[in-house]
Amino acid sequence: MTVFHVCLFILLTLFDHSFGQLVVNVKNKGGDVEREKIEANTTSDSVRLEFMSKDGTLVTQFIDYKSNIQIFRIYVPWEEERGIVQSKPQVLCFVTKFGKNEFISADAMSKLRQKNPTAVRTPEEDRGLERHTLNLLVTLDKASVLSPHLYNICHDAVDSTYAKETDIKLITKALNKDTEKVMTALKNTELEKHTRCKDTSDIAKPCFCQYHLCIEWYPCGLKYCRGKDSTGKVVNYRCGIKTCRRCLSFEHYARQKMFCLWDDL
C-alpha cells in the first residue's frame, strides 16, 4: 500500500468516526463492493457523499442546497508506471447545477438509519449517463460568490476546478444573484479550440479531457404510503427511500495532456 493510499485510508477512517451518519456497502456493476459514507448537515443545508474506488481514487459529491450547486471532487492517484512520479494526487473539481429532485433533502438524509450495516446494497433505479461539458475555470479565491463551501472543498484544485456556463447562468438567475459579479470568478477555457486529449500526441500540450465516474448508490427520493390516522382519515406518510445509480461524464480543459492520462484508455 502506497503512502497515498494510507493517507486516504486514515481520512476515510476519521470521516467514519467523526462525521459519518450513514455507511453503506454497495456492489458496483463490476462486482466490487465500495463503501460509501454519507453525511448530512442540516445547519448548512448540505450533504456529502464519499467513497474510494478499487483503484484508489477518492470521490466526493457535495451538495449545497442553498446555492443550488453540487460539487464532484476527485483525488486521482498518479500512475507511476506511466513514468510520472508525484508525491501528491491529482485533484479535480466539477461544479454543476443541482436539481431538487436529484437527491433527498439534507433534513431527510439526517434522519436515515441503517438497520443492517453489513448488508451489500444495490440501487432500485439506474438513471444512466449524464454528460457535462464544463467550459469555465473557477477562480477559487472568488468562488464564494457561487457557494461558501466551494473553496474549502476544492482548495487543492486551484487550476482544475471547472463549471459550465449555462449552469452558472441558471443558478444565478434562480437565486437572483448578480450575473456579472459571479462571472468575474470564472474564466472561459475556450474548450472548443482544443483537441481531445487521447488524440493529442504531445504530453505537454493543452487539450480537452473526459473524466467518467459512477455513484453506485444514493437516496434519490422518498417513498410515500397511504394509511389511516387515529381518526380514520386517509393520509400519506413517508415509508422509505428510493435509491438510484448515476454515471457522469465530464468534458473539461486540461492544461497539459499529462493531467488527463486516463483519456488514453
Q: Give me the tens of pLDDT residue by residue for the chain, a chain 265 residues long.
A: 444 443 443 344 333 333 447 899 998 888 889 999 999 999 999 999 999 998 899 999 999 999 999 999 999 987 654 555 555 789 999 999 998 789 999 999 998 887 888 899 999 999 999 999 999 999 999 999 999 999 999 999 999 999 999 999 999 998 999 989 999 999 999 999 999 999 999 999 999 999 999 999 999 998 888 888 888 888 888 788 899 999 999 999 999 999 998 886 5
What is d(CA 101, CA 150) in angstroms, rounded to the nearest whole number? 22
Q: How far does CA 215 lie from the centroid of its chain?
A: 8
Contacts of 79-82 with CB under 8 Å at 24 or more apart are 79/261, 82/261
Q: Of 182, 176, 218, 259, whose CA–CA distance to 49 is shortest?
A: 218
What is d(CA 38, CA 40) in angstroms, rounded to the nearest whole number? 7
pTM for this predicted structure = 0.87
What is d(CA 39, CA 36) in angstroms, rounded to the nearest whole number? 10
* Backbone φ, ψ for residue 220 (5° rounding): -95, -10
Contact of 256 with 203, CB cutoff 8 Å = yes
Contact of 36 with 49, CB cutoff 8 Å = yes
Contact of 122 with 27, CB cutoff 8 Å = yes
* Backbone φ, ψ for residue 45 (5° rounding): 55, 60
What is d(CA 126, CA 216) in angstroms, rounded to the nearest whole number? 9
Residues linked to residue 240 through DSSP beta bridges, in sequence order? 223
Cβ neighbours of 232 (radius 10 Å): 6
What is d(CA 248, CA 225) in angstroms, rounded to the nearest whole number? 32
Contact of 250 with 208, CB cutoff 8 Å = no
Contact of 207 with 252, CB cutoff 8 Å = no
